[in-house]
Structure 1
Amino acid sequence: MSKQTIKSAVEQLVQPIVDAAGFELVDVEYVKEGNNRFLRVYIDKEGGIDIEDCSRVSEALSGKLDEVDPIPDAYILEVSSPGAERPLKKAQDYHKAVGKNVWVTTYEPVDGMKEFEGELLQFDEINLVILAGKKQHVIPFDKIAGARLAIVL
């Protein structure tokens, strides 16, 4: 079973659990690190996630995973917050990040660069506009390799 198939199956199992709790499903990862496989579920809510929130979702999801058994290998389940530098994955993540500092990498150079850090001024689902230093960069959404919120120190 492919990682994407497992990720999709887990998203379908966890989404109703997260919705019922009033949380947001940020991301699901299924990765191999060393000899172990990890199923990581990232959740969030206004004001942040605490350990009890993670525990509640973990227990409910664990039961569903035991029942449906979509993952053939042994794995470690982790449910956590995406952290202060949360990844931006979905269009709604970018909309929420407007006005905040972000770090973006692209598949190919835009304005001669592949990494940008600055304030996300605008997002219209086709392009992002980032103010990095004193220059605005218009980055096509389909050229984004990765993006996350960035803490300004």
Structure 2
Amino acid sequence: MLVTERTLAREIAPAVERSLPGVEVLAVEMLSPSRFCVYVDHPEGVDHALCARVTQLLDDYRASYTIDVSSPGVERPLRKPAHFRAAVGQEVQIRTATPLAGKKRFRGAVVAADERHLRLAAGDEAVDIPYEAIVRGNLIDEGQVQP
């Protein structure tokens, strides 16, 4: 599903962003083989009307998929280098496609982010994670942090 997800993101993001000025497609996530969610943001906020406009733009996909369109929420998706640069100093959770440093799931603070990778600190450890290895990345809602 990761390949399909990335293909959809490459197709959908430019089309939506070109058609709806100010809208940023933060992520496209496959929820099942026949359903995906498009997370969008806008400087003036995301309301039902904006989600409906995005859904209408994606009509061609509705023959094959059920489509959800959502605001980013407090656990904002992070996929692009700019997203991670904006998250420096914040707690995130990351899942990679293949193991890095012996694991696929990471949780910690973003301490640096450039065009190719981010550096994540969890306690005394730091790990560099290339963006192309990331399957999921999200801010952690500080109000929901679990021990």
Q: Fold match, TM over 0.5?
A: yes
Residues 89-104 of structure 1 correspond to what in structure 2 (within 5 A)?
A: 89-104=79-94
Corresponding residue of 2:19: 17
Which runs of 5 or more structure 1 residues have no equivalent in the other structure?
none
Corresponding residue of 1:53: 50
Alpha-carbon distance, 1:39 to partner: 4.3
Corresponding residue of 1:28: 28
1:41 aligns with 2:38: yes
Work out the CA distance in 1 between the residues paired with 2:77 and 2:140: 9
RMSD: 3.0
Query: CA 1:95–1:77 in 2, change beyond 3 Å: closer, same or farther?
Result: same
Which runs of 5 or more structure 2 residues have no equivalent in the other structure?
none
Query: CA 1:77–1:145 in 2, change beyond 3 Å: closer, same or farther?
Result: closer
Work out the CA distance in 1 between the residues paired with 2:72 and 2:133: 23
State the Cα deviation string for residues 9-67 of structure 1 (Å, max 9, x = none): 4334322123x1x121112345545xxx33432101346422233233334x15xx3xx
Query: CA 1:102–1:31 in 2, change beyond 3 Å: closer, same or farther?
Result: closer
What is the number of residues matched between the two proteins?
138
Query: CA 1:143–1:52 in 2, change beyond 3 Å: closer, same or farther?
Result: closer
Query: CA 1:39–1:119 in 2, change beyond 3 Å: closer, same or farther?
Result: closer
Amino acid at match of 2:16: V
Work out the CA distance in 1 between the residues paired with 2:44 and 2:62: 36
Corresponding residue of 2:129: 140
Confirm or deny: 8 A CA contact 2:17 2:23 kept in the other structure: no
TM-score, normalising length from structure 2? 0.71
Confirm or deny: 8 A CA contact 2:118 2:129 kept in the other structure: yes
Which has the larger Rg?
Answer: 1
Amino acid at match of 2:100: P
Query: CA 1:127–1:12 in 2, change beyond 3 Å: closer, same or farther?
Result: closer
Alpha-carbon distance, 1:78 to partner: 2.1
Alpha-carbon distance, 1:74 to partner: 4.3
- The percentage of aligned residue pairs carrying the same residue is 32
Corresponding residue of 1:109: 100
